[in-house]
Amino acid sequence: VDIKENSDAEMNLLFELLKKMIYIAMVEDEISKHYDQDRRKFYSSIHLYSGQEAIAVGVCNNLKPNDIIFSNHRNHGHYLAKGGNLETMILELYGSVAGCCRGKGGSMHLCDMKAGVAPSSGIVAGNVSIATGYALANKIKGNKNLVCVFLGDGATEEGSVYESICYAKVRNIPILYVVENNLYAIHTPLKVREPFRYVSEKFSSIIQTMVVDGNNVEEINQVAAEAVRDIGVRGGPYMLECITYRMRAHHGTGNGIDDARTQEEWDIWSKRDPINLTREKLIQHNKGYITKIEDFKSHLSVYLQGVFKFAENSLLPSEEELLTDI
Ligand SMILES: Cc1ncc(C[n+]2csc(CCOP(=O)(O)OP(=O)(O)O)c2C)c(N)n1
Ligand SMILES: [Mg+2]
């Protein structure tokens, strides 16, 4: 028995991580429910994070408030894990003038600079070079703020990612590249796109890379801590590749089972759901966690009902407002 692994302090930390994962999952479920009820109320397409929660939570647990994240089209989980404001996020999804982009961005363009969430972009890999430049600016200014950018396996195939990574190496730029390898870019499986098992192999001769189980929040938390420490010591870039699976369709709702993603594959990954795995580990340690988890979920559910109700009845931008800040 690994005493350290089963200590109460370790388990309390795990419980905190679990709560954040449940928070993200419940927000995504609620969005999905409302989207199915009336998608005309949403002014953009949605790309849900369900199944990948451990990555945002494990990584962001190692970031300070002044550290900044750059996200992509699948940004809800990143935004929430970094502490982005839930109300302004949901208002944004409903196109409200009180949303984080005053209703002009929608789901793919969330931002909350107070929480260290830079404006997200739906241009695949577009965030990588911007984040690298931001990290270079931090280095030149001499502050110790870290930049972390999330990108998908598909995004690693964009030329600008090679350019950014080479440049980050040459200039020794302090940046954490977090690759969420969910094995697909829309409907195209990784195995028909690349000869590599891990997409970070393409970069391992250039920068420090590490592959981790993207459904194990404890492991991600530990490896992200090492990566952040390593960037602090060397000053230079680091790539963390997390192997995972999205439990929903590429965009919109549903489970995303199609010609490429079979029911069998989905079932295998569903048994490896990061939230269930963490929940089981906690309960095995102490049955008291069953009620703690249920209490957390029921309080959160009440809060979420209020947030969505408020957002559904919120004001859209006026014609005049629509033409500002664009
Ligand atoms: C430059 C650009 N090319 C294509 C698209 C269309 N597109 C949107 S998401 C996506 C796949 C992204 O796959 P991946 O990076 O693996 O992220 P995932 O959706 O799996 O999280 C594509 C091709 C786009 N938005 N931007
Ligand atoms: Mg992908």
Which ligand is nearest to the Cα of residue 150, counting in written order?
1
Centroid of ligand 1 to alpha carbon of 71 (angstroms):
12
What's the confidence (pLDDT) of residue 5?
A: 58
Q: How far apart are CA 299 and CA 30, in angstroms?
A: 14
Cα of 245 vs centre of ligand 1, distance in Å, is 15
For residue 158, the ligand closest to its alpha carbon is 1
Cα separations (Å) of 78 from 95, 114, 211, 279?
A: 20, 14, 19, 21
Which residues have C-beta within 8 Å of that of residue 82, sequence separation ≥ 6? 56, 60, 63, 69, 112, 115, 116, 117
pLDDT at 295: 98
Nearest to 59 by CA among 269, 219, 168: 219
31-44 pLDDT per residue, tens: 999 999 999 999 88
What are the residues whose beta carbons fall under 8 Å from the beta carbon of 150, sequence distance 6 or more? 55, 56, 59, 69, 70, 71, 72, 75, 78, 127, 178, 180
| Closest C-alpha to 130, from 71, 76, 182 | 71
Tell me the CA distances in angstroms from 5 to 20, 55, 175, 214, 223, one per residue in order. 20, 20, 30, 19, 15
Q: What is the pLDDT of residue 75?
A: 98
Q: Which atom of ligand 1 is nearest to the CA of 74?
A: 21
CA distances (Å), origin 137, targets 143, 196, 296 = 9, 33, 40
Test site for ligand 1: of 73, 124, 177, most ligand atoms within 8 A of the Cβ = 124
Instruction: Report the alpha-carbon distance of residue 123 to residue 138 in Å, rounded.
Output: 24
Ligand 1 centroid, distance to 185 Cα (angstroms): 6
Q: What is the pLDDT of residue 325?
A: 87
Closest C-alpha to ligand 1, atom 4: 124
pLDDT means over runs of 10, the chain (326 residues): 69 97 98 96 94 98 98 98 98 96 96 98 97 98 98 98 98 98 97 96 98 98 98 97 98 95 98 98 97 98 98 93 88
Instruction: Give CA–CA dist 126/72, Å, rounded.
Output: 8
Residue 14 Cα, ligand 1 centroid: separation in angstroms?
Answer: 32
CA-180 nearest atom, ligand 1: 21
Instruction: Count the neighbouring beta carbons within 10 Å of the beta carbon of residue 265.
Output: 14
Which of 44, 46, 73, 241 is the best mutation target for the ligand 1 pocket, counting ligand atoms within 8 Å of the beta carbon and taking the most?
A: 73
What integer pLDDT is reported at residue 1 of this predicted model? 43
Given the CA of residue 47, which atom of ligand 1 is nearest to it? 19
Instruction: Scan for tokens 């079932």, then name that residue.
Output: 267
Q: What is the pLDDT of residue 4?
A: 54
How many angstroms is it from 186 CA to the middle of ligand 1? 7
| pLDDT at residue number 43 | 85
CA-proximal residue: ligand 1, atom 6 (nearest): 124
* Strands annotated E in 203-268: 208-213, 238-243
Q: Across the chain, which distance is largest between two alpha carbons, in Å?
A: 65
> Counting atoms of ligand 1 from 1, which one is nearest the CA of 155?
15
Percent of the chain at pLDDT above 70?
98
The single residue listed with the structure tokens 């196109």 is: 95
Pocket of ligand 1 (CB under 6 A): 73-74, 122-124, 152-155, 182, 184-186, 250
Closest CA to 119 of 132, 106, 137, 133: 106
- CA-nearest residue for atom 8, ligand 1, is 124
pLDDT at 3: 47
Q: Which residue minimizes the CA distance to atom 11 of ligand 1? A: 185
Angle between helices 217-234 and 53-60 (to 10 degrees): 40
Contact 168, 132 (CB under 8 A): yes
Q: How far is the CA of 151 from the centre of ligand 1 (A)?
A: 9
